Amino acid sequence: MNAATETDRALVDRVAKGDRAAVRLLFMRHHARIYRFVARQTGSEMMADDITNEVFLELWRQAPSFEGRSEVSTWLLGIARFKALSLLRKKKEDWIDDDAAAQVPDSADTPEVVTMKEDKAAALRRFVDALPDEHRTVVDLAYYHGQSVTEIGEVLNIPVATVKTRMFYARKKLGEALKAAGYDRGWP
Amino acid sequence: MSAAEKMSRRDEMETLLPFYLNGSLEGAELEAVEEWLASDPAAMAALGEAEAEFSGTAAANEAIRPPADALSRFARALDAEAGPARAPAGQSWLAKIFGRVTAIPSGVAWTAAAALLALVVAQSFERLGGKGNDFEIAGAQDDLANLPFALIKFKPDAKMSDIAAFLGQNGLKIAGGPTADDVFHVTIPASTAADYDKLVGLIAAQPFAEAVAQGRKPVDGG
């Protein structure tokens, strides 16, 4: 356990005692990552804004029952994931996000053609974005949120073996997309 | 046999590389990846590819910019959820002023204390004999009301026995308090301004005194 983790837990203890300054500190520390996680989950920054606020209000409500069995960041991501899925289910039929629509590549260009205009880094970023949700989420949680296999399993409520399988296929798809774009990486 | 179990060694290592890079791998899996990186010429190239994915994923996430006013909006939502924030106990306006007085140099402190005194005494006299005062001030006919006094705040860890002994030795009496801010009204048995200053200075020097403000002070020749 590193010092930052201990501080997070100490802050949650303070929140449990009704310390609003502590919840604001946790908000400042984790807000951007939770916001981005939800935005990637939902494809909507508007939903991300609402849900992220709700995540930290939930932190305020649930802090007394936090048992410290997981890292605070993992706990928050789990709350965010649950709230994002709940809201997505509720708004599935009528939610249209302009930002997400704007990110869909122009159909006049095939992925290969688009990629030819970019360097490898930009191509990778595009390919990560284009992964199926369940694969991209695992990639995001590992690469951006620094979560372990076990922690990702906790956040997504799936077995460790499933986390590995999703990571395997996510990386396989990235390799195939790169290969199709002329960047052969030698695997798969 | 699950898909994960069917993986070849290369597949398995490729799957673990992201977790090796984010530092969360440990135990047998960490050893396996390190052994692979040390023994397979293709492994270092694979690590480079994973690092590129790492950068690409970070860039994709960092491109999302959270709103700048998120904290202020959250603070309002929190207040709506939990009710208006209250100042911590003991942090009323008077306690805060006392805190500031004790935190500044003594010369400045006494000037500030004098200003505080003017405010508190003015309020005290306005309320003289009235109900609902923060602390009791003896009535106009009471001798105590005419005695010189000082306003004292004791440290939270002060021992009552030390305070009582000091007061007894110096003829001091607590005439009122504590207020909601833990301020006591203490009579000062002094007939001259010099005696008053000496006693008030003595009180301020005591380890149990957190703050002392001058109250009614004898007027020499008055």
User: Model ipTM?
Assistant: 0.79
Provide CB contacts within 8 A for B117, sequence distance 6+. B151, B213, B214, B215
Instruction: Give alpha helix (H) positions in A43-159.
Output: 45-62, 72-91, 98-103, 111-116, 120-130, 133-139, 149-156
Q: Identify the residue among A14, A44, A164 best suited for mutation to test binding to B, counting B beta carbons within 10 A and taking the highest.
A: A164
Residues B49 and B102 occupy one common structural domain: no
**Which residues of B are less than 8 Å from A161 in CB distance?**
2, 4-5
Residues A6 and A79 occupy one common structural domain: yes
Measured CA to CA, the distance from residue B55 to residue B61 in angstroms comes to 10
Give the least confident one: A167-171, B106-110, B213-217: B106-110
CATH number assigned to the domain comprising residue A58: 1.10.1740.10
Mean pLDDT by 10 residues, chain A (188 residues): 63 94 93 96 93 96 92 96 91 54 46 59 90 96 96 96 96 92 78
Maximal CA-CA distance, chain A: 57
CB contact under 8 A, B60 and A128: yes
Provide CB contacts within 8 A for A36, sequence distance 6+. A48, A144, B61, B62, B64, B66
More confident residue, B195 or A161: A161
SS3 (DSSP) at B131: coil
pLDDT at A140: 97
Provide CB contacts within 8 A for B195, sequence distance 6+. B218
Residues A47 and A134 occupy one common structural domain: no
**Which residues of B are less than 8 Å from A47 in CB distance?**
none
Provide CB contacts within 8 A for A49, sequence distance 6+. A35, B66, B67, B70
What's the structural domain count of chain A?
Answer: 2
B181 band by pLDDT with thresholds 50, 70 and 90: low
pLDDT digits (tens, 9 = 90+) for B33-78: 999 999 988 899 999 999 999 999 999 999 999 998 999 999 999 9
* pLDDT higher than 70, residue B179: no
CB contact under 8 A, A128 and B56: yes
pLDDT at B190: 87
Range(s) of the domain holding residue B190: 93-214
Residue A115 inside a domain? The answer is yes
B68 with B75: CB under 8 angstroms?
Answer: no
Residues A25 and A82 occupy one common structural domain: yes
Please tell me which residue of chain B has the smallest CA distance to A129: B60
Measured CA to CA, the distance from residue B173 to residue A72 in angstroms comes to 54
CB contact under 8 A, B77 and A40: no
pLDDT at A157: 95
Q: Determine phi and psi for B25, rounding to 5 degrees.
A: -75, 145
Q: Which of residues 87-126 of A touch B (CB under 8 A)?
A: 120-121, 124-125
More confident residue, A112 or B102: A112
**Which residues of B are less than 8 Å from A186 in CB distance?**
42, 45-46
Measured CA to CA, the distance from residue B188 to residue B182 in angstroms comes to 19
Residue A54 inside a domain? The answer is yes
Question: How much is the mean pLDDT over chain B?
Answer: 73
Residues A66 and A9 occupy one common structural domain: yes
pLDDT digits (tens, 9 = 90+) for A72-116: 999 999 999 999 999 888 876 554 444 444 444 444 555 555 545
What's the structural domain count of chain B?
Answer: 2
Q: Is the dihedral of CA B52, B55, B59, B60 positive or negative?
A: positive
Residues B134 and B33 occupy one common structural domain: no
Beta-carbon-side half-sphere exposure of residue B48 (alpha carbons within 13 Å): 9
Q: How close does chain B come to A32, measured CA to CA in Å?
A: 6
**Which residues of B are less than 8 Å from A121 in CB distance?**
52, 55-56, 59
pLDDT at B212: 75
Measured CA to CA, the distance from residue B193 to residue A44 in angstroms comes to 73
Residue B141 inside a domain? The answer is yes
Residues B131 and B110 occupy one common structural domain: yes
SS3 (DSSP) at A73: helix
**DSSP symbol at A141:** I
Q: Of A96, A129, A149, which one is at a domain's C-terminal end?
A: A96
Where in chain B does DSSP place strands (E)? 149-154, 173-176, 183-187, 209-214
Contact with chain B for residue A35, Cβ under 8 A: yes
B85 with B97: CB under 8 angstroms?
Answer: no
Range(s) of the domain holding residue A12: 1-96
Residues B207 and B97 occupy one common structural domain: yes
**DSSP symbol at A63:** G
Measured CA to CA, the distance from residue A42 to residue A85 in angstroms comes to 8
pLDDT digits (tens, 9 = 90+) for B116-129: 444 444 444 344 33
Residue A125 inside a domain? The answer is yes
Q: Identify the residue among A56, A103, A118, A143 best suited for mutation to test binding to B, counting B beta carbons within 10 A and taking the highest.
A: A143
CB contact under 8 A, A35 and B14: no
Residues A47 and A109 occupy one common structural domain: no
Rounded percentage of chain B residues whose pLDDT exceeds 70: 65
Give the least confident one: A151-165, B12-26, B80-94: B80-94
CB atoms within 10 A of CB B104: 12
CA distances from A40 to A45, A134, A162, B60 (A): 9, 11, 20, 9
Burial B180-197 (b: 16+ CB within 10 A, else e): ebbbbbbbbebeeeeebb
Q: Which of B28, B58, A10, B57 is nearest to A2 (CA)?
A: A10
Residue B3 inside a domain? The answer is yes
Residues B47 and B109 occupy one common structural domain: no
pLDDT at B5: 52
**Which residues of A are less than 8 Å from B88 in CB distance?**
none
CA distances from A100 to A96, A110, B29 (A): 8, 19, 38
CB contact under 8 A, A53 and B75: no
Residues A75 and A132 occupy one common structural domain: no
Residues A44 and A121 occupy one common structural domain: no
Residues A157 and A82 occupy one common structural domain: no
Residues A4 and A69 occupy one common structural domain: yes
CB contact under 8 A, B4 and A168: yes
Residues A84 and A125 occupy one common structural domain: no
Residue B187 inside a domain? The answer is yes
Structure tokens of B53? 């994915």
Q: How close does chain B come to A90, measured CA to CA in Å?
A: 22
Q: How close does chain B come to A9, measured CA to CA in Å?
A: 19
Residues A87 and A21 occupy one common structural domain: yes
Structure tokens of B174? 């607590």
CATH number assigned to the domain comprising residue A166: 1.10.10.10
Residues B145 and B72 occupy one common structural domain: no
